[in-house]
Structure 1
Amino acid sequence: MTAASRQPSGAASYVNTHQIMVGPVRRKSLIALFALLPALVVFCAFWLLPFSRLIMMGAEADPSSGISAYLTILTHRQYLISLATTVGLSLVVSLVAVAIAGVAGFFLARQRFFGKSILVAILTFPLAFPGVVVGFLVIMLGGRQGALAQTSLWLFGERWMFAYSLAGLFIGYLYFSIPRVITTVMAACDNLDQSLEEAARSLGANTWQVIKDVIVPGIAPALLSTGAICFATSMGAFGTAFTLGTRLSILPLNIYGEFTNYANFAMAAALSVVLGVITWMALSLARRLAGGNLGASV
């Protein structure tokens, strides 16, 4: 037998190589499937099935209008006002939080001074508070017996209050949104290449040009992602709004009222689906604009 006859043919060699390669790939696929199985079970049991049930329940007839709860939301003024108020308030909170905390986060990331760690800890401490505590703090500031009311009564003879209105809700939402922005912006600034700023200055750019052309584009994904997270958090925040007053016309309180006060499960389900869809659209848009870095620092 010649040496050529002892060597495997091209087809046989390809089959052997293919079998060798397929084995590890198949094993890795099985390992990945088993690793994802618990997450898939939890996802289906605690999100997919309940949310599917919510969607179907929202399509049922609303007792007050006799038509689908989704159509009732689109045709009744009170629900449209609640929807617009919730979206508008959440959007304003997100923009203001990004504007204020973005500047603060950049300053804290670039400056070194005594007590910085303590200051950062104080600024991020509101993350530890539940919504009820945040609402109580707003009442202590702008309620009837709050600091502002007592000071205005002493100076002008009348009580100034804002706690039980959209202004109070705005302060509360802003209070727990700012720490989220600060921590994200600080992480983004730490990863920003400072040599780009030095190159811009060497080319004659002033401070504002460096900020506009280098710094802001560099941390833009972080600003977009944290703004979207603030928007989503404000859309669904319940504890703060419930503490400040159940008469505020926002979606979380409307869902609570329809479910507990009127047992209108169809409307509560429809409002929940609408809130979830709007929040998901905002997060998806921010992820697209940020280049898929939603939740990342840069």
Structure 2
Amino acid sequence: MEDNLKGRINRDALFSSETEDYRMPMEPDADDDVLLRMRTAKGNVDHVYYVEDKAEVEMTKAKSDELFDYYEYEITVGTDQVLYHFKVVSEQDVCLYNRLGPTQDGQPCFDFKITPGFHTPEWAKGAVMYQIFVDRFCNGDESNDVESYEYVYIGRPVQRVTEWDRYPAAMDVGYFYGGDLQGIWDKLDYIKKLGVEAIYLNPVFVSPSNHKYDCQDYEHIDPHFTRIEKDGGGLVRPDATDNKEADRYVQRSAGKENLEASDAFFARFVEEVHKRGMRVILDGVFNHCGSFNKWLDAEGIYEHSGDYEAGAYESKSSPYH
């Protein structure tokens, strides 16, 4: 693996990771000593540095084989999270190495990360996981489908898609195919036969988008994925740009009967998954939300429902402000 350019770093040979071969122990506790390792092409670089919070410490070449040199450095972690990357230097070249690989301008968000005391559950290590984007998987219950003109999302009324094979368009977030948890439930035996050990669900909490990453209510499962026990109310006009007339959506997404029924359905769904020896992982999305979120209520959904305190967008006296 010789570098054809004299004095240049062979970037293809650079490697490090957060696995047990390059971080020992892989998941340390507070006050543990941790040995970090960085790999380079044999005889290709002059120096390798461990970089943490802009402070650089030169690493030691600890061993070599026919193709590679391995540099090591030991740190002691405390209770705070540790972010680090590597700086590799040759006669005529410099590059940084983080979770994305070789780079010229490493960004802290892509640094390797140590969180003292965090341990991956044993059942998850090496497990076969099956990720499901719920709306596009299988429509098991058409009664909970989002209806066309049920509400306004990003300035235009949402649409129900009846052609399952329709190719998604740009900004397709307001188009719904009707996939739901009943559809996944119907396919559990098929999923099990694939050898799946854990089902990873894209967000299933109440949300106005088809991807549901802009959460509306973290405390309940979306009735459009589960059960709508109480229905009714009007739709918005085809030219509507706000949710003042979205009475049906208010009832469906914020009505307590629907939310309680949805949570109960989800509990039964998880029991069925567990009966087949599989587990469920939920995508929480707790670091951001959207204008529909009930603590903000910029769309007035919960203001209209009358069962919730005012949102922070609606009133400065809101407990969420």
- TM bracket, shorter-chain basis: under 0.3
Q: Which structure dedicates a bigger proportion of its chain to helix?
A: 1
Task: With the length of structure 2 as denominator, give the TM-score of the two structures.
Answer: 0.21
Q: Which has the larger radius of gyration?
A: 1
Tell which has more relative contact order, 1 or 2 (C-alpha 8 A, sep 6+). 1
Task: With the length of structure 1 as denominator, give the TM-score of the two structures.
Answer: 0.22
